[in-house]
Structure 1
């Protein structure tokens, strides 16, 4: 009836504010890699399922101190930038892009170099518990396709975009699309190639329409990309109102904010994920909610390049905008969404309380801005799944068996009766990559620390 059964205690978001504890539950996994049933110890078939699948040698029982979390969903990664992660983060965004980032990304015309970087990145993300990743690649179609192939081969659910940068005035000559027509033609071919690849990828690999951001694209390419996204009914990603410079650039060019400019080109849809969004107006937030467009919140990266704290609590609670977390490698130095969960809480509290000691406490911060650890966990899991409109990010029937198993033996847990929700908080605040013993995606084990298994 089931491919296998896992017995253990797990944590999963029931909504944006609450976490459900599934204590000593049986997770029954189908041949397709989805959760067919979750059986609690109180249900009558509980002991029968344990006995039956033990006899079949298809029962995995977690060791004491091990816990299950949903796999993380990273909504914003610049895959080529893994090669420069942790460097040059003290520079302004514009200087960082032109001095370091664009020269690096230009190297991905070399397929061997791309293979080396992308293969290592996907493996590292899996080891960090990231089961689904939304990637910017580069302007190069062949190496972008190779990233999608690596995701397919290693078992990660990947959403990959060939970046479009066709504006000759705003992009360096050594790194851009030669013409608008070439950019659009190569994008359409890439879409077709990845859709074909998806036919033999159980966990899914998806093409994504990817204008880098408005400053790098002409009006014709933006319009053409909106048309392609509609033609193939696929995801869209870009940057939106990220920094003072980028936000002002769009206002000067179009006389409106990024959100409305992107919408004019058909680039705000229910399959759109826009990164950063630190300068959204109330009107922009309303438009996002109406269109079903999601925000990729990148709290670590925003501390370096965002020039503001994105008002996540307002977006989530007041406007009901879909939101997930992004590492934004390499604007964000860490490949771990554990780190970004922590920073999301920290940044929200700084926005709530303010940072200028010389301003009176009543005016120093923005009231109602802080988010809880439960909400940050939701962003990294269920919120990401909802943003992508995919059945992932939750431990629930008909959702993919995308999980990470965490060993808590190194955490400060000294009582056998410690409340499980307190253990949950320690897992989120104190876990390190080496504590992730196993990672499963779509019912397939893709990482096993004890067997040194890392994809195939």
Structure 2
């Protein structure tokens, strides 16, 4: 019989499709030395009792207690790691003012590596404690601090995709916070890519360099072109903001006479390893281009409520074949929890469908067929994020990484309202998604390694 590094027994929830959650009741999950799920065994399978007899009671056998469940680890596709230092502040002003008055000054402080270390260690710890096993990070323009963030992810066991941000346009960036020149921005980015790829060789769960033009307004044409070339040369992931707000969307149209999607594509910045945050103003031609190139949308529902001037039509984009994941957008989004963002995704979709202006008749107030379910929001936070990154994560299935969070519904200080021992497991899943708090997340595993636990 094959020897496994770890065997886990318990009931799990995972996405079968964007709209369907699969319940794996009392399954065995057999994990190999690389932290991948090698075998998933149902109670009715012939080898279930054989495996149980071989591993039960062993040190590498893990059995969930009553009221505990496995969820896939969350995949956060948009985190501004340095902005954790300002999270929860200044959310009542326009995006342009917010960036220049609050965000750029705080990010400029990351030239101080001690300050950077304190913030970055805390944000990685916080995201792990909230069940986020993979995070796609914007760092800052500072090459050394950005690499430090990758090292912290590597050391703490989180799968981190990290971008040294490029901001070289003197017309749109403050003197105190931007790349010294286009040449410097590109040279630093290339050195950063090489260093992170070297770090990845000794990191079990993986760390990845990400080509990161902050957004089109922040970058010159030469920088955007050079970044597209670097992404192709080193086959890296790419991230940016796209068609986020009225101001940003309008700026790009004025500069290029086209929408963000087509401008970014012209610079080689769309592809199957590209993730574009927000995308509230995508039209159908943009959506077709995203689907054609394999570019993913990162939906940031809490942040969008503050800064996007609109509600993104997630259901419509999904119907167009666009890959979509979920992001917290710290600190435009105040919460580090993808549970909170999944809930807001559902709420925002309902508001888009029903409309908000009571001066209009109900039949004219909203956008039909816009709502999504909590099942779909769960998919965005897990499998959708994995697909957006083109990585085998976000599902509890064979040949996927063992990235999980163990949810305790019976915790005395945060008990979920489950009063029937035979309650339908679909209902239990919904209660988990709507009611879980960080203290309910008892353990977090990434690539078969325990990276967080609450006693």
Aligned runs of 1:366-377 on 2, under 5 Å? 366-377=367-378
Following superposition, the deviation at residue 51 of structure 1 comes to 1.5
Tell me if 1:29 matches 2:35: no
Q: Which runs of 5+ in 2 are unaligned?
A: none
Aligned runs of 1:397-436 on 2, under 5 Å? 397-409=398-410, 410-436=415-441
Aligned partners of 1:240 and 1:207: how far apart in 2?
20
What residue is the counterpart of 2:396 in the other structure? 395
Tell which deviates more after alignment, 52-61 or 266-275.
52-61
CA deviations on 1:152-201 (whole Å, 9 max, x unpaired) are 00000000000000001110000000100000000000000000000000
Aligned runs of 1:107-146 on 2, under 5 Å? 107-146=109-148
Tell me if 1:444 matches 2:449: yes
What residue is the counterpart of 1:217 in the other structure? 219
What residue is the counterpart of 1:350 in the other structure? 351
CA contact (8 A) 1:50 1:59 kept: no
Secondary structure at the residue paired with 1:142? helix
Q: 1:256 aligns with which of 255, 258, 269?
A: 258
Secondary structure at the residue paired with 1:107? helix
What residue is the counterpart of 1:380 in the other structure? 381
What residue is the counterpart of 1:453 in the other structure? none
Tell me if 1:298 matches 2:297: no
What residue is the counterpart of 2:312 in the other structure? 310
Q: Which runs of 5+ in 1 are unaligned?
A: 451-456
Aligned partners of 2:61 and 2:50: how far apart in 1?
12
Aligned partners of 1:253 and 1:220: how far apart in 2?
14
What residue is the counterpart of 1:39 in the other structure? 41
Aligned partners of 2:95 and 2:274: how far apart in 1?
23
Following superposition, the deviation at residue 57 of structure 1 comes to 2.9
What residue is the counterpart of 2:79 in the other structure? 77
Pairwise CA RMSD: 0.6
The TM-score normalised by the length of structure 2 is 0.98
Following superposition, the deviation at residue 220 of structure 1 comes to 0.3
The TM-score normalised by the length of structure 1 is 0.98
CA contact (8 A) 1:141 1:186 kept: yes
Aligned partners of 1:366 and 1:23: how far apart in 2?
38
Following superposition, the deviation at residue 58 of structure 1 comes to 2.1
Following superposition, the deviation at residue 54 of structure 1 comes to 2.1
CA deviations on 1:295-351 (whole Å, 9 max, x unpaired) are 00000000000001011001112x110000000000000000000000000000000
Secondary structure at the residue paired with 1:22? strand
Aligned partners of 1:260 and 1:306: how far apart in 2?
20
Secondary structure at the residue paired with 2:35? coil
Aligned runs of 1:161-176 on 2, under 5 Å? 161-176=163-178
What residue is the counterpart of 1:338 in the other structure? 339
What residue is the counterpart of 1:96 in the other structure? 98
Aligned partners of 1:187 and 1:436: how far apart in 2?
36
Aligned partners of 2:86 and 2:120: how far apart in 1?
13
Aligned runs of 1:12-23 on 2, under 5 Å? 12-23=14-25
Aligned partners of 1:256 and 1:438: how far apart in 2?
47
CA contact (8 A) 1:295 1:322 kept: yes
CA contact (8 A) 1:7 1:24 kept: yes
Aligned partners of 1:416 and 1:269: how far apart in 2?
47
CA deviations on 1:119-145 (whole Å, 9 max, x unpaired) are 000000000000000000000000000
Following superposition, the deviation at residue 46 of structure 1 comes to 1.1
CA contact (8 A) 1:395 1:401 kept: yes
Secondary structure at the residue paired with 1:329? coil
Aligned partners of 2:236 and 2:192: how far apart in 1?
12
Secondary structure at the residue paired with 2:110? helix
What residue is the counterpart of 1:365 in the other structure? 366
Aligned partners of 2:246 and 2:37: how far apart in 1?
45
Tell which deviates more after alignment, 50-59 or 425-434.
50-59
Aligned partners of 2:241 and 2:378: how far apart in 1?
23
Aligned partners of 1:201 and 1:91: how far apart in 2?
40
What residue is the counterpart of 2:326 in the other structure? 325
Following superposition, the deviation at residue 55 of structure 1 comes to 4.9
Following superposition, the deviation at residue 448 of structure 1 comes to 1.2
What residue is the counterpart of 1:238 in the other structure? 240
